[in-house]
Amino acid sequence: MRDITMTPDWKNLYCVLLVALMGAPGLEAREQITWAAKVTAGFSTTFTCSSSCLPNCIYTWSFLGRTVNGSKLIWTPDGLDNTVELQCNVLNPETGDSRTVTSIVEVKNQLSAQISPPNTVPTLSQSLDLVCDDATLSSHQVNQVKQVVWYKDGQKVTLREDMHLLQNTSLHFDSLLPSDAGFYQCETNVATGQHTRVFSLGYLLSFDRWNVSIVGPDTVFTGRQSKFICLTSCTLNVDCTVIWHFRWGFPIGPYLSIHENELKWTPSIPGTFQNFSCVAENAAAGRSAEATKMVEVKGIPLSGSEAVQLSGLFAVILNLGLLMLFD
């Protein structure tokens, strides 16, 4: 009987190790949702759900609590939602297999409630005009008469004796009262002549200054995740939106996550400082407030076990690389 010696295949082993370290690639979905242009409130958009499955597959759309059948969806947003989640389910009736693809659609709104003149500061006992501005109108159409309905905090505005509708579009206050504070929107038809009613971007009428602050540690450590929250006196995604700025440099590290007013960060460079700025703003109202926080980054020495594990891993990779070079 011959003595058979098994020689390790170092090249394959090296490749397997690299795959294990980097992770195997994920499966690419064969379904997709496509559309041709920007999605704008008051204008119809055609969405297409395509798939590599058989022609007789069944397509079902789900969005905003509605269900629509067919591979194409024609939808005209009404302006009440800034983003909408579209889901398309593809069913193969022969095999019973189904897959779902999801797209987050951003809706542009060219209709807005604005203060007039734009730089006016709302003041108690003073007059004020709110206009329903349609960016789709050309210069010679600005004064055209449109039927406008005004809402405050989601409810139709009831006119007092000192409130008037000017040219059926502008909401006029002879003398502002504390009770007039609130979130105003207008509803009207867009300039295209379509019958779809569109709700505008809102205007926050307020007599108080917004307060903004950043809550989180003053000192963070490399390799450890820290969380910072931007606290605002305005209602998030109703009265205002929050944007994070890094004017002194982008945070460096293996992990950074930003979701609305929450920021999570794992730094990697000790002995440095990071500046965070949180801005709460209402673009339609032309209002904003900002808070800034300076954070110091300190290092954490590795424990003995962590150092041994890392050195062992690098030694394995180095040895395999050398074997490949001299093979």
Of residues 67 and 304, which shows the higher confidence score? 67
Q: List the end-to-end C-alpha distance of the chain, in Å, as a whole number.
A: 29
Q: In which order are the strands placed within the sheet that holds 287-298? A: 219-221, 287-298, 272-282, 241-245
How far is residue 128 from each of residues 76, 183, 278, 307, measured CA to CA in Å?
33, 15, 30, 67
Kindly report the CA angle at 119 between 118 and 123, in degrees rounded to 5?
Answer: 110
Nearest to 261 by CA among 241, 245, 281, 246: 241
What are 189-238's pLDDT values in tens digits? 875 555 678 999 888 887 777 788 899 999 999 999 999 999 887 878 87
Place of tokens 């504390």: 178
Three-class SS state of 14: helix
Q: Is 246 in contact with 275 (CB distance < 8 Å)?
A: yes
Nearest to 155 by CA among 189, 187, 197: 187
Judge whether residue 316 has pLDDT over 70: no
User: How are beta strands 72-75 and 45-50 bridged, if at all?
Assistant: antiparallel
Which whole number is the average pLDDT over 101-129? Answer: 88
Structure tokens at 306: 């962590």
Nearest to 135 by CA among 204, 75, 190, 196: 190
In this prediction, residue 239 carries a pLDDT of 76
CB atoms within 10 A of CB 178: 7
Beta bridge partners of 226: 265
Protein fold of 212-298: Immunoglobulin-like (2.60.40)
Residue ranges, CATH 2.60.40.10, the chain: 30-108, 111-205, 212-298
Structure tokens at 35: 């559309």
Structure tokens at 194: 């379509």
What are 240-295's pLDDT values in tens digits? 899 999 988 899 999 999 999 999 999 999 999 999 999 998 876 677 888 999 99
Helix (H) or strand (E) holding 311: helix 304-326
Architecture of the structural domain at 111-205:
Sandwich (2.60)
pTM value surpassing 0.75: no
Q: What counts of helices (H) and strands (E) characterise the chain?
A: 2, 25
DSSP for 77-104?
A: --SS-SEEEEEEEEE-TTT--EEEEEEE
Judge whether residue 1 has pLDDT over 50: no
CATH superfamily to which 30-108 belongs: Immunoglobulins (2.60.40.10)
